């Protein structure tokens, strides 16, 4: 696939991943619901209020990798933790679960909910019947950072900054469930979320700052869910591909925590989604470890936990994971071999559905209508550049070659690459563009800058002239 069409495919995947997002209104609704539960637990009459209950999300909602269900009849599964300031020498797992369950049941009754919470192995499930299209799994927990650090030290492992956020959780299938005992199941959703965020820190911080400046807000006022990095987008795409490929074998499909963990390990803060996805798919298998002949995908914040622990008991699940990953690789390469973005999109329909791919193709900018994209010399231009003051080339046009332009913006004395689908760039920053082409030398380079819009018009700053390159860098290919 020519480089221009590679850029088009990256944009197509960007639109496709955006179509998988939970609507912001739905996200805020879910946030309001679980915050409401938190307020209920903290009210004066609550039997849990003394223990300073804290409700917070875990899993894909916290990581920003949640995707819409395939069917409109399916519900979102929102995973929450209810953490109380207690210790394992004060109560049993059962007593903790009953304490939280008592208040969750009272909440459901007070809100006239259609059904009481259901008790699961570890959680209480709260079902909403008012069109919310989600249910909440609430996991009772207590702080366990100190005990977890001791456990790691005993195992010869040095703890890290994530260790202190570990929690002890309930599980009604363990033998000591009803006894006061120091041996509880453990988890660390806060630590995992911080590790995941650290894996994409460069792109996350950059995009969050750009978004803040574009809407004239403080960076700290931008909620995490408003920012999406190529890592988060890649995980969303991988999860949807998995869902459709294993629609008839839900029990043995690759689980999200393995996909998310291996993808985060493989991600190298690429700015381009297609580059990130390709790199992730290629490198994910290399982060699967082997302990005594058993496949291990270690929990990055608990090396004693193997996310792939069921692979030994169910070898078909490991086989399915590797088969699925190979299929993703095949599907990406097949799309890259197509001659047009339309044919590339059609090749992805069997993996992502006809409607999402069709809508993504419709959202592509008008310059992608051309088979060859932005060709050297000229080609069909984006609609936002099709203005009267935009100069046309003064030379014959031959659509034989391509030009790819990379954009860079300077923030805090550091240069970052940005793509055409990024959030709006702030004013008063330095920009640097670099062109690549397969046109054989010698050649002359001209650059065209189109400045348009009402603000430019008011300041008499409309531009569209074609000028010789001002720099000698790489023969004028930088600007």
With H, G, I as helix, E, B as strand and everything else as coil, classify residue 77. Answer: strand
Whether pLDDT at 330 is above 90: yes
Cβ-contact 139, 126 below 8 angstroms: no
How far, rounded to the nearest angstrom, does the alpha carbon of residue 412 sit from its chain's CA centroid? 25
Q: CA–CA separation, 48 vs 90, rounded Å?
A: 14
Cβ-contact 280, 234 below 8 angstroms: yes
The lowest-confidence range among 29-33, 133-137, 144-148, 459-463 is: 459-463
Cis? peptide before 442, omega within 30° of 0? yes
Per-residue pLDDT, 268: 96
Beta bridge partners of 470: none
What average pLDDT does the segment 69-77 reach?
A: 77
Whether pLDDT at 367 is above 60: no
Whether pLDDT at 473 is above 80: no
Q: Average pLDDT of the chain?
A: 86
Q: How many CB atoms lie within 10 A of CB 441?
A: 6
Helix (H) or strand (E) holding 224: none
Q: CA–CA separation, 204 vs 198, rounded Å?
A: 9
Q: Determine what percent of the chain is predicted with pLDDT higher than 70.
A: 90
Instruction: Encode pLDDT of 91-137 as tens digits.
Output: 999 999 999 999 999 999 998 888 899 999 999 999 876 555 778 99
Between these two residues, 263 and 375, which has the higher pLDDT value? 263
pTM of the model: 0.77
**473: its two tokens:** 């860098």
- Name the nearest CA neighbour of 137 among 55, 215, 219: 55
Cβ-contact 129, 116 below 8 angstroms: no
Helix (H) or strand (E) holding 204: helix 201-214
Per-residue pLDDT, 1: 47
Q: CA–CA separation, 341 vs 403, rounded Å?
A: 17
Between these two residues, 7 and 322, which has the higher pLDDT value? 322
Between these two residues, 221 and 71, which has the higher pLDDT value? 221
Q: How would you classify the pairing of strands 431-437 and 446-448?
A: unpaired
Instruction: Encode pLDDT of 440-467 as tens digits.
Output: 888 888 888 888 777 777 777 788 888 8
The lowest-confidence range among 199-208, 340-349, 415-424, 449-458 is: 415-424
DSSP 416-433: EEE-TTSPPPPSS--EEE
Maximum average pLDDT range among 208-217, 242-251, 375-384: 242-251
First-to-last C-alpha distance (Å) of the chain: 26
Q: CA–CA separation, 171 vs 122, rounded Å?
A: 5
Between these two residues, 79 and 376, which has the higher pLDDT value? 79
Between these two residues, 157 and 170, which has the higher pLDDT value? 170
The lowest-confidence range among 133-142, 255-264, 294-303, 363-372 is: 363-372
Q: Could you tell me where the beta strands, DSSP code E, fall in 188-301?
A: 289-291, 294-296, 298-299
Per-residue pLDDT, 199: 96
Per-residue pLDDT, 151: 81
Cα-based distances in Å from 433 to 6, 214, 224, 448: 18, 20, 29, 12
237-267 b/e with 16+ CB inside 10 Å = b? bbbbbbbebbeeeeeebbbbebbbbbbbbbb
Per-residue pLDDT, 382: 44
Whether pLDDT at 380 is above 60: no
Between these two residues, 22 and 236, which has the higher pLDDT value? 236
Cβ-contact 464, 387 below 8 angstroms: yes
Q: 478: pLDDT confidence band, cut at 50, 70 and 90?
A: confident
With H, G, I as helix, E, B as strand and everything else as coil, classify residue 441. Answer: coil
Between these two residues, 445 and 156, which has the higher pLDDT value? 445
Question: Could you give the angle at the alpha carbon of 279 between the alpha carbons of 326 and 423, nearest 5°?
Answer: 125
Per-residue pLDDT, 55: 95
Per-residue pLDDT, 371: 37
Per-residue pLDDT, 22: 82
What average pLDDT does the segment 314-324 reach?
A: 96
What average pLDDT does the segment 50-57 reach?
A: 95
Per-residue pLDDT, 392: 75
Whether pLDDT at 379 is above 60: no
Between these two residues, 240 and 74, which has the higher pLDDT value? 240
Whether pLDDT at 198 is above 70: yes
Q: CA–CA separation, 278 vs 330, rounded Å?
A: 11
Whether pLDDT at 332 is above 80: yes
Give the sign of the dihedral formed by CA 157, CA 80, CA 127, CA 74: negative
Whether pLDDT at 243 is above 90: yes
Beta bridge partners of 410: 415
What average pLDDT does the segment 340-359 reach?
A: 91
Per-residue pLDDT, 355: 86
Q: CA–CA separation, 127 vs 137, rounded Å?
A: 9
């Amino acid at each position: 696939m020519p480089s221009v069409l590679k850029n088009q495919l990256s944009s197509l995947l960007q639109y496709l991943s955006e179509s998988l997002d939970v609507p912001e209104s739905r996200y805020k609704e879910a946030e309001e619901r679980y915050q409401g539960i938190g307020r209920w637990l903290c009210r004066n009459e609550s039997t849990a209020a003394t223990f300073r209950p804290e409700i917070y999300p875990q899993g894909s909602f916290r990581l920003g990798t949640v995707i819409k269900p395939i069917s409109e009849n399916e519900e979102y599964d929102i995973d929450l933790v209810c953490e109380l300031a207690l210790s394992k020498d004060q109560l049993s797992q059962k007593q903790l679960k009953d304490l939280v369950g008592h208040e969750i049941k009272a909440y459901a009754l007070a809100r006239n909910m259609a059904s009481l919470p259901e008790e699961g192995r570890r959680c209480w499930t709260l079902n909403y019947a008012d069109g919310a299209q989600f249910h909440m799994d609430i996991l009772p927990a207590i702080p366990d950072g100190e005990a977890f650090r001791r456990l790691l030290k005993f195992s010869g492992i040095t703890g890290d900054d994530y260790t202190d956020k570990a929690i002890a959780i309930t599980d009604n299938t363990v033998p000591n469930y009803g006894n006061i005992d120091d041996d509880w199941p453990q988890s660390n959703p806060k630590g995992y979320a911080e590790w995941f965020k650290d894996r994409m820190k460069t792109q996350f911080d950059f995009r969050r700052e750009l978004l803040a400046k574009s809407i004239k807000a403080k960076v700290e006022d931008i909620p995490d869910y408003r920012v999406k990095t190529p890592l988060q987008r890649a995980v969303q795409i991988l999860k949807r591909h998995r869902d459709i490929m294993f629609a008839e074998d839900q029990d043995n499909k690759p689980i999200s925590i393995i996909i998310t963990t291996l993808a985060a390990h493989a991600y190298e803060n690429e700015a381009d989604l297609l580059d990130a996805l390709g790199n992730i798919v290629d490198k994910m298998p290399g982060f699967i470890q082997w302990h005594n002949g058993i496949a291990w995908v270690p929990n990055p914040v608990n090396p004693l936990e193997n996310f792939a622990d069921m692979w030994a008991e169910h070898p078909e699940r490991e086989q399915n994971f590797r088969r699925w990953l190979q299929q993703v690789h095949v599907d990406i390469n097949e799309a890259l071999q197509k001659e047009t973005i339309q044919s590339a999109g059609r090749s992805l329909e069997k993996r992502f559905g006809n409607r999402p791919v069709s809508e993504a193709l419709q959202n592509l900018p008008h310059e992608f209508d051309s088979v060859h994209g932005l060709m050297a010399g000229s080609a069909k231009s984006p609609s936002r550049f099709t203005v009267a003051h935009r100069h046309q080339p003064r030379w014959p046009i031959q659509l034989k070659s391509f030009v790819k332009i990379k954009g860079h913006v300077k923030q805090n004395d550091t240069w970052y690459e940005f793509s055409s689908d990024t959030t709006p760039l702030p004013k008063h920053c330095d920009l640097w563009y670099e062109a690549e082409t397969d046109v054989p030398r010698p050649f002359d380079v001209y650059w065209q800058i189109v400045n348009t819009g009402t603000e430019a018009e008011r300041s008499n700053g409309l531009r569209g002239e074609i000028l010789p390159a001002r720099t000698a860098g790489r023969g004028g290919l930088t600007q």
